[in-house]
Structure 1
Amino acid sequence: MPRSTRNTADLPLHGGKAPRWLFNRMVELALVITDYILTEYGPDELLKRLTDPFWFQSLGCVLGFDWHSSGLTTTTCGALKIALADLGPNAGLYAVGGKGAASRKIPTELAALADAVGFSPDAFIYTSRMTAKVDSAGLQDGYQVYHQLFLFIPSSSQWVVIDQGMNTGRGWARRYHWGSDQLPSFVIDPHAAIEGRRGLDVLNMVSSDSVGSQGRSVEIANDVPHFRKEFMRIRHLELPAHHRINLSDLDSKRVQRVFLKTFEKPPQDFEHLLASPGVGPATIRALALVSQIIFGEKPSFEDPVSFSFAHGGKDGTPFPVNRKTYDHTISYFSNALKRSKLGHTEENQALHRLSRWLEEVSVGR
């Protein structure tokens, strides 16, 4: 999927949760849709679609959640996780994580699945941690990551990550899509897509424009005495008001403690630096600042953000959820899927014709 930096979609930060009667139906329909895609196209195709923010948003709308709410991400991911668990090992695809405390249990969930299914969880655990680290420290866009769904295929080592962060002060959320088949590097333009509201105060140390700053940051991390001297000197400078890195946010003692640890085990590149324990947003900002002052390596301040009507929405937008229509949809697709697995393809062919017709209508607008 080609990246786009021109399209944006705002995700207002909304409270509340889906009522139980709606969420139960969301799980049922998510199971049917997921099973349909897995049966027709296989798990690789489902992962590919989940890296597309527009497809994911459409899925959430079809399931009946608010079409533009931050809760669409967490609720849709929750329904997908339960649906995949219900499908069991035959799906070949697993999901772990979720919102808040559930996201912090990903290593434990992966280890348990590894024992049950039979695969090494180490690479997946590293991926989960690195994607979260990048979205919180490598890319500092003002959003605190509070959700991660990690989906993966053990047999092929393919994976997708859907992170979401919140900015309570601005009242907005931002969703980050990652995909293993589109990942050139964890630290150079790594995202498949980012959906949210464009920000102003952004430090993007994982941009290809920040490669020079990355390299100098690693040099500084390997030369703690020099870094400490320069950092303390810079803290006493009166920088221009328009400077993009706020020194008041940097705790010099804490930053120095972190770098004493990196000095004991010097990072070989920026990815290893970012993966180091204790290295977070403040440390990366300090390094970016020092590398800019000493070496003139300016990091990127460009925001990389790129960019529901089947059953209604939870809050009645664009219209209230029609339970009868929702139940009929679940029943129709469940029966069509059962018949398809038995070799009866009439419904499938009709759905493909409908899909092609909708594409033609959309293009012709």
Structure 2
Amino acid sequence: MYITGASELPLHSGHVPPYLLQYMKRLGKAIAMYILDEFGPTTLVKRLSDPLWFQAFNNVIGMDWDSSGSTTVVLYVLKDFANVNTFKDIGFAILGGKGIDSRQISEELKALERYSNLDIDRLSYSSRLSAKIDGVALQDGYTLYIHGMAISEDSTWTIIQQGMNINIKQARRYHIYSSNIITAENDPHSGIACNNVGVALNLIDRESHRARKTIIDIVNDDVHSVIREIAEINRMLRRNSTLTKWINKEHSISTNKRYIDPNKNPLFYRPITNLSRIENILRHIASIEPKNFDELLLMRNVGPETIRALALVADIIYSDTPSFRDPVTHAIDPFIYAYAHGGKDGIPYPIKINVMKESIEFLERAIIEAKIDDKTKKDSLKRLHRLWKDILNSIIHEKDFKDQ
């Protein structure tokens, strides 16, 4: 079983004020610890796989409702109390993070090897393949710079990744959840949410089945022939703007198979930037002979350019066109949750520290009481629900009054 999704967020400037970050950490811990105590670590891992729930959590603790920094803040708020050092006590941890921290997951997993219930090999494999799925097999114009992992004591995991499109200054967040092994040969995204839908090189789509098979066939065939085909395709792509004299339709490329319109997918139909590097990687691939697409993706140095070059051969030479579908299914608008305590940027209103303090104290008291007996636990949960409804109703009433 696996569930995934993604959200797209604009790039914001500025940092969380230190005083506010302390409240975010305290409230985030209180919410997460209540879930851990009431429902268990696996439930929290699964909830983090839902991009709407993830964003709502971000909003409730006071982070900007639509900021690209929300991913970083949520991960580090959780990791502050749920990490390798505390895993034994709470059965839940956040690994990795932004930038250099994203490359620490392997070391952090090694530190957890002493816990016999954890399948470290499977967790490591899932981490590496997830990064290749969203960074290589799916090429949508976003470059990954955050790679985090939430794990529970039974080896259930959620990968949370984020990529940045520097041209439009927007970030896209990807979630992959599973209690099993995933594969790039079966689109692992059950829900991707963002406001912008474009085109992509989508080799994890069902419609890319033939393209994936052809790619594996050609890398295990005559490597010299593949290199020549890529070089020829590259020459065509480099001079596509002057090829109108070859054909009837402007801005298309004539091949011995059909006409190719580069404008159909500019992310895909563009020249390879470093042919000599691609040639060296292809020779290495040929010496290994990968059995399937997952093995190819996980090979060292096989990145977006290599996969795109092979997909171009599959498309232009063998007529097995990959999917160009940007795997977006619905838009996310969790703005209502920003009314819980306000937002760092003052939207929908400046954070009400007193209300945040009340929520924190209520949750922390509920957690302590919940450890006493089941009746107290249930009563605490009912009071928490009533408090939330009262806060939400008063805020909505206040907003409606101002709008009149």
What is the TM-score of this pair, normalised by structure 1?
A: 0.90
Counterpart residue type for residue 52 of structure 2: F
For residue 258 of structure 2, what is the aligned residue in structure 1? none
Q: Shift in Å at residue 4 of structure 1?
A: 10
Query: CA contact under 8 A between 1:99 and 1:147: conserved in structure 2?
Result: yes
Counterpart residue type for residue 98 of structure 1: G
1:74-89 map, 5 Å: 74-85=72-83, 88-89=87-88
**Aligned Cα root-mean-square deviation (Å):** 2.6
1:324-346 per-position Cα deviation (integer Å, ceiling 9, x unaligned): 21112111110011111111232
Secondary structure of the corresponding residue to residue 216 of structure 2:
helix
For residue 227 of structure 1, what is the aligned residue in structure 2? 226
Q: Shift in Å at residue 322 of structure 1?
A: 1.5
| 1:356/1:185 CA distance change after superposition, 3 Å | farther
Q: Shift in Å at residue 116 of structure 1?
A: 6.8
Give the Cα separation in 2 of the matches to 1:247 and 1:216.
Answer: 20
1:118-133 map, 5 Å: 119-133=118-132
Counterpart residue type for residue 342 of structure 2: G
1:75-111 per-position Cα deviation (integer Å, ceiling 9, x unaligned): 0111011132385422211111111111011111111
For residue 213 of structure 2, what is the aligned residue in structure 1? 215
- The count of aligned residue pairs is 356
Give the Cα separation in 1 of the matches to 2:214 and 2:232.
Answer: 18
Give the Cα separation in 2 of the matches to 1:188 and 1:9.
Answer: 21
Counterpart residue type for residue 350 of structure 1: R
Q: Is residue 258 of structure 1 aligned with residue 297 of structure 2?
A: no
| 1:317/1:353 CA distance change after superposition, 3 Å | closer
Counterpart residue type for residue 248 of structure 1: P
Q: Is residue 275 of structure 1 aligned with residue 275 of structure 2?
A: no
Tell me which structure has the larger Cα radius of gyration. Answer: 2
Q: Is residue 347 of structure 1 aligned with residue 380 of structure 2?
A: yes
1:155-234 map, 5 Å: 156-181=154-179, 185-223=183-221, 224-234=223-233
| 1:148/1:140 CA distance change after superposition, 3 Å | same
| 1:197/1:267 CA distance change after superposition, 3 Å | farther
For residue 295 of structure 1, what is the aligned residue in structure 2? 318
1:1-365 map, 5 Å: 10-85=8-83, 88-115=87-114, 119-154=118-153, 156-181=154-179, 185-223=183-221, 224-237=223-236, 238=240, 239=253, 240-244=261-265, 245-306=268-329, 307=331, 308-343=338-373, 344-345=376-377, 346-351=379-384
Query: CA contact under 8 A between 1:128 and 1:150: conserved in structure 2?
Result: yes
1:13-52 per-position Cα deviation (integer Å, ceiling 9, x unaligned): 1122211111111111111111111111111211121111
1:94-136 per-position Cα deviation (integer Å, ceiling 9, x unaligned): 1111111110111111112224777452221221111111111
Counterpart residue type for residue 100 of structure 1: G
Unaligned runs of 5+ in 1: 360-365
Give the Cα separation in 1 of the matches to 2:207 and 2:273.
Answer: 23
Give the Cα separation in 1 of the matches to 2:385 and 2:23.
Answer: 24
Q: Shift in Å at residue 248 of structure 1?
A: 2.0
Unaligned runs of 5+ in 2: 241-252, 254-260, 332-337, 393-404
Query: CA contact under 8 A between 1:314 and 1:320: conserved in structure 2?
Result: yes
Secondary structure of the corresponding residue to residue 173 of structure 1:
strand
Q: Shift in Å at residue 353 of structure 1?
A: 6.3
Q: Shift in Å at residue 193 of structure 1?
A: 3.4
Counterpart residue type for residue 150 of structure 1: M
Give the Cα separation in 2 of the matches to 1:55 and 1:189.
Answer: 22
Secondary structure of the corresponding residue to residue 301 of structure 1:
strand
Give the Cα separation in 2 of the matches to 1:217 and 1:165.
Answer: 25
Give the Cα separation in 2 of the matches to 1:54 and 1:82.
Answer: 22
1:186-222 per-position Cα deviation (integer Å, ceiling 9, x unaligned): 3321124333343424111111111110010011111
- State which drifts further: 8-17 or 104-113: 8-17
Give the Cα separation in 2 of the matches to 1:98 and 1:321.
Answer: 26
